[in-house]
Amino acid sequence: LSLRDARMLCGTLKRGSNDIRKGYAIEELQDLPTDFDARTAFPNCSKVIGHIRDQSACGSCWAFGVTEAFNDRLCIKSDGAFTELLSAGEMNACTLFFGCGGGDPYSAWSWVHDKGIATGGDYVAKDDMTKDDGCWPYDFPPCAHHINDTKYPKCPEGLYPTPNCVEQCHNPKYTTTLRE
């Protein structure tokens, strides 16, 4: 993995610390455990928390980070009642930054707060989609990132273009509208 290749996949744009709202009280943390595994601490959410996604050849790590953190929190808050995967694809396409060329976690959190986020997990070819794949599954297939792998094809050179943000589900078999 060359430095250039690694930089292409690191798509987080940095903001100044003044842009971050601090609306929480600082707590003194005592008696912290020596280790913590959220999958065992929240067993009703272990599949959601332990699910590993693939951003493919797209610098959408910022979108994945926010989507997965919110997905985990939503599952934990509902005590496992909500286990659908949320859409890193919608986050990547719609938060009005550079999509596959980089994004901003702060703006992604603002998107979640203001608009919500659609369901949709990993990549599924359009012809193979079912209602269970959610509204907006990820747009790009998994690929082998700079390693020899028999499970996935080699990632393409360069980054995929950012998908267009549309106000409808990408999955034709999903019956709920995007903002329901």
Low-confidence winner among 41-45, 61-65, 68-72, 103-107 (lowest mean pLDDT): 103-107
Q: Which is it for the CA torsion 49, 137, 149, 9, positive or negative?
A: negative
pLDDT given at position 150? 83
Question: What's the rounded Cα separation, in Å, for the pair 100 and 44?
Answer: 32
What is the chain's length? 180
pLDDT at 79 over 80: yes
Strand partners, 119: 86
pLDDT tens profile 105-161 = 888 999 999 999 999 999 999 999 999 999 999 999 999 987 888 889 999 988 999
- In order of their start, the domains of the chain are 1-12+39-180 (3.90.70.10)
Residue 67 has pLDDT above 80, yes or no: yes
Residue 172 has pLDDT above 60, yes or no: yes
Instruction: Give Cα 108 distance to the centre of its chain.
Output: 10
Give percent of the chain with pLDDT exceeding 90: 60
Name 110's Cβ contacts closer than 8 Å, sequence gap at least 6. none
Region 161-179: mean pLDDT is: 89
- Both tokens of 101, joined, read 């060329």
Mean pLDDT of the chain: 86
Q: What is the Cα–Cα distance from 125 to 137, expressed in whole angstroms?
A: 9
